[in-house]
Amino acid sequence: MPGIQIVGAGGFLGRNLLQYFKEQEYTVFSTSHQKHLTNSVDTSFLDLLNPDFQFLPSIAPKIQFSILCSSETNIDKCKNEYKMSETLNVTNTIQLIEKFWANSITPVFISSDVVFDGKIGNYSEDANCNPITQYGKQKRFVEKFLIDSKKPWLIVRLCKVFDVKYKDCTLITSWLDSLREGKTIKCADDQFISPTYIVDLCKAIESLIRIGKTGVYHACSPQIFSRFELGIKVAQFFQIDQEAVEKCSISDFSFIEPRSSFSTLNPQKLISELDFNFSTMENCFDKILYNYENIKS
Ligand SMILES: NC(=O)c1ccc[n+]([C@@H]2O[C@H](COP(=O)([O-])OP(=O)(O)OC[C@H]3O[C@@H](n4cnc5c(N)ncnc54)[C@H](OP(=O)(O)O)[C@@H]3O)[C@@H](O)[C@H]2O)c1
């Protein structure tokens, strides 16, 4: 099995990938810019705002792939703190990718549906990119750098990702927690998403790497919901009064950068090439129910 490095192992995706690859008994290395996470031999400190790549040569011979989860992911912050986000998401990410190639490591770049304008959704891998936010432009810039490089690379584009653990503060559980506390949740009926279970995503990324795929892949659930439709489904499944799910429009929220109406991708290439099955939302609701009931007992 190839040696894997996770860059940004302290974030949501990074820590789940780290755990998943360890469970599959890969040799796994990681980096973090959080000092307290870098106190073992297989974890290195890497702050992409002030990078020092000296850790790389000693571990590089043990790594074939490095998964770049590191990013400033707050869309409005990318706009507001343009210089910072450009340094982290573009300039120093590209510098890191060049270091990987110099050490015969294939970069796996985690990208997003934000490379599209979100006017129609369900984009396939070769659809025309047209990012409408600074964050989207930064992701696309790195993608283009990889695509034009004639070097080995893999790009995995994601949509909204969630987990099913007790009070994990991701999409569905945070709605559930609010509803159970008697609060209302505001859900746009004009924004469409394909929420993807984090473990499915880890499995898909592991399969792509194990099989040796290169190129662009969309890794998201094929199920599409408006946020309102999904909010109602949560209320129904967990037997909460549906009146607590308040219908609204995405334009009711005051964002600095525009949000797309269709944050959805077409995952058929991944599904057919890997013979992959994503969990249904109903499966995930069952898992959440199980996790919440077992934490109580
Ligand atoms: N979660 C989603 O729903 C979603 C959807 C679409 C695309 N994505 C993409 O998936 C990737 C991971 O997202 P996420 O949800 O895990 O985001 P997150 O929880 O916000 O994590 C951000 C990541 O950036 C790293 N990071 C932050 N500042 C850094 C710095 N100065 N130097 C080095 N690394 C730094 C963090 O790792 P350390 O703290 O360990 O350094 C962490 O891995 C991103 O590229 C994002 O665009 C996520």
Instruction: List pLDDT tens digits, range 58-102.
Output: 999 999 999 999 999 999 999 999 999 999 999 999 999 999 999
> With 80 as the cut, is the pLDDT of residue 296 above it?
no
CA of 76 to the centre of ligand 1 (A): 15
CA of 211 to the centre of ligand 1 (A): 25
Q: Which atom of ligand 1 is nearest to the CA of 48?
A: 32
Structure tokens at 237: 């499944």
Residues 296 and 28: their CA atoms lie apart, in Å, by 34
At residue 109, the pLDDT reads 99
Fold observed for domain 162-193+223-264+279-296? UDP-galactose 4-epimerase; domain 1 (3.90.25)
Residues 265 and 249: their CA atoms lie apart, in Å, by 21
Does residue 161 sit in helix, strand or coil?
strand
> With 90 as the cut, is the pLDDT of residue 295 above it?
no
CA of 32 to the centre of ligand 1 (A): 10
Q: How large is the average pLDDT for residues 197-203?
A: 98
Ligand 1 pocket mutation, candidates 13, 67, 111, 115, criterion most atoms within 8 A of CB: 13
- One DSSP character per residue, 19-67 reads HHHHHTT--EEEEESSGGG--STTEEE--TTS---TTHHHHGGG-SEEE
Q: How large is the average pLDDT for residues 7-23?
A: 98
Residues 200 and 194: their CA atoms lie apart, in Å, by 13
Q: Which amino acid is at 136?
A: G
What are the extents of the domains in the chain? 4-161+196-219, 162-193+223-264+279-296
194 neighbors 280 (Cβ within 8 angstroms): no
Q: Which atom of ligand 1 is nearest to the CA of 157?
A: 7
Q: How large is the average pLDDT for residues 3-20?
A: 98
At residue 61, the pLDDT reads 97
CA of 87 to the centre of ligand 1 (A): 14
Q: Which amino acid is at 276?
A: F
Fold observed for domain 4-161+196-219? Rossmann fold (3.40.50)
157 neighbors 265 (Cβ within 8 angstroms): yes
- One DSSP character per residue, 218-247 reads EES-S--EEHHHHHHHHHHHTT--GGGEEE
Instruction: List pLDDT tens digits, range 90-142.
Output: 999 999 999 999 999 999 999 999 999 999 999 999 999 999 999 999 999 99
Question: Atom 42 (ligand 1): residue with closest C-alpha?
Answer: 11
131 neighbors 83 (Cβ within 8 angstroms): no
Same fold, 4-161+196-219 and 162-193+223-264+279-296: no
Q: Which amino acid is at 194?
A: S
CA of 191 to the centre of ligand 1 (A): 23
Handedness of CA 80, 37, 30, 158 (dihedral sign): negative
CA of 143 to the centre of ligand 1 (A): 16
> With 90 as the cut, is the pLDDT of residue 297 above it?
no
271 neighbors 219 (Cβ within 8 angstroms): no
76 neighbors 256 (Cβ within 8 angstroms): yes
- CB under 6 Å to ligand 1: residues? 8-14, 32-34, 37, 46-49, 69-71, 73, 88, 110, 112, 158, 160-161
Q: How large is the average pLDDT for residues 211-238?
A: 98
At residue 1, the pLDDT reads 87
Q: Which residue has the tokens 């190639």?
A: 101
Q: Which atom of ligand 1 is nearest to the CA of 13?
A: 16
Structure tokens at 261: 């109406």
Provide the mean pLDDT of the chain. Answer: 97
Q: What are phi and psi of 115, to 5 degrees?
A: -75, -10
